[in-house]
Amino acid sequence: MILSVSGEGDIGLLNSTGIKFNIRPQQPHKDLQPDGSQDGVVKVPTDRVTRDLSSRAPRDLKLHVPDQPRFHPKTGTRLRLRQRRRRLLIKKMPSAVAVVANGSSETFVPPPQTQDSHWDSLQQSQQERKRVPKAGCSNWKRVLMVLAGLASSTADIQHNTVHYGSALKRLDTFDRQGILHRLGTYTKMLFVREPFERLVSAFRDKFEHPNSYYHPVFGKAILARYRANASREALRTGSGVRFPEFVQYLLDYLLDVHRPVGMDIHWDHVSRLCSPCLIDYDFVGKFESVEDDANFFLSLIRAPRNLTFPRFKDRHSQEARTTSRITHQYFAQLSALQRQRTYDFYYMDYLMFNYSKPFADLY
């Protein structure tokens, strides 16, 4: 999810389809191998953080702690260092991963009618948030709506209002000049999630519950392609897709063979959805540390002190959240080869955001 915030009070979101990345560099940078380090703590000496990067604040915002800080000074220092490391890691990515289809990576100009529709923009505070589905996206929209004065509390905003309302401006509603202005001047925020966990969360949400879009559009195509002797009822409704069938569709999409249906933002890799090698994000948060990261971000933009990031589930509230344990249960249904190929698909996300390998046998 990408959020942008400007001094004029705009909040926005962006995506950039049409940009193609090399999924896995031939020789990744020696400092960038995913390892056991957690939460953005990477093996990069602090003296290699340039003065410009270490002192940089989100555009148009003051990063000093507010008069009544939400965090103890030591906690604030730790969270600032976490941000420097995360942003530095993205900046250190091998140049090969930022090469677009035409071989040029110096200038990012969003093509018309692309994933600019996945940016939420809030003009009041000049913030833009990049939407990464299944990484706290719905609750961030609630926060933005409160910041925009559209609601007094995140708890008052219903699911349909979040997803089907027109309260938040999308980046693609602006002309080319407006888009480039906001990308260049707003504070842009991105939140990510452990890739396998995000994939399982998307599967559970879209295929294990009634869904009037994903079952007929994706479910029917997946069942027709991957389930031998599928029942007429299954083929008619698209219901009952199993996780191995879903993963096989994803892997065939990666190989560009026998694609039964297209890609979807809920499980596409973040490195393609959000173009972090081309867009200079001012803040990079993680779902795994969302409470600290989100509330630190809110303190940086001087949001009202009574506004905190909501932790309630947007849908299926009686169902347990997707955790690493649940994720491993789903991936246990796959062969070692399928797990490896799925890791290859999300390799850039693991590398760029410093997530550990979820299984010991992955390479």
Local structure of 188: helix, strand or coil: strand
Task: Provide DSSP, 92-120.
Answer: TS-GGGG--TTS--S---PPTTSGGGGBE
119 close to 10: Cβ distance less than 8 angstroms: no
283 close to 189: Cβ distance less than 8 angstroms: yes
Instruction: Using DSSP bridges, classify how beta strands 2-5 and 127-130 pair: parallel, antiparallel or unpaired.
Output: antiparallel
Local structure of 127: helix, strand or coil: strand
Helix H or strand E segment including 200: helix 195-207
Rounded Cα–Cα distance for residues 163 and 160 (Å): 5
Local structure of 168: helix, strand or coil: coil
Predicted local distance difference test score (pLDDT) of residue 135: 59
Rounded Cα–Cα distance for residues 281 and 270 (Å): 13
Q: What are phi and psi of 120, to 5 degrees?
A: -100, 130
Rounded Cα–Cα distance for residues 235 and 238 (Å): 5
Return all residues near 233 (Cβ < 8 A) that are at least 6 apart: none
- Give the tokens for residue 256: 């560009």
Nearest CA to 80 out of 292, 291, 303 is that of 292
Predicted local distance difference test score (pLDDT) of residue 55: 38
Nearest CA to 111 out of 262, 268, 275, 265 is that of 275
Beta-bridged to residue 11, according to DSSP, are 5, 127
Averaged pLDDT, groups of 10, the chain, 363 residues long? 50 38 36 48 38 38 43 84 95 62 37 41 48 66 82 79 71 86 87 96 95 96 95 97 97 77 89 84 93 90 86 75 96 98 95 96 95
Helix 195-207 and helix 243-255: axis angle, to 10°?
120
**How far is C-alpha 330 from the chain's CA centre?**
21
Residue with tokens 């599928």: 230
190 close to 284: Cβ distance less than 8 angstroms: yes
28 close to 58: Cβ distance less than 8 angstroms: no
25 close to 17: Cβ distance less than 8 angstroms: no
Rounded Cα–Cα distance for residues 74 and 274 (Å): 31
Predicted local distance difference test score (pLDDT) of residue 182: 86
Domain boundaries of the chain, sorted by first residue: 2-194+268-300, 196-264+327-352
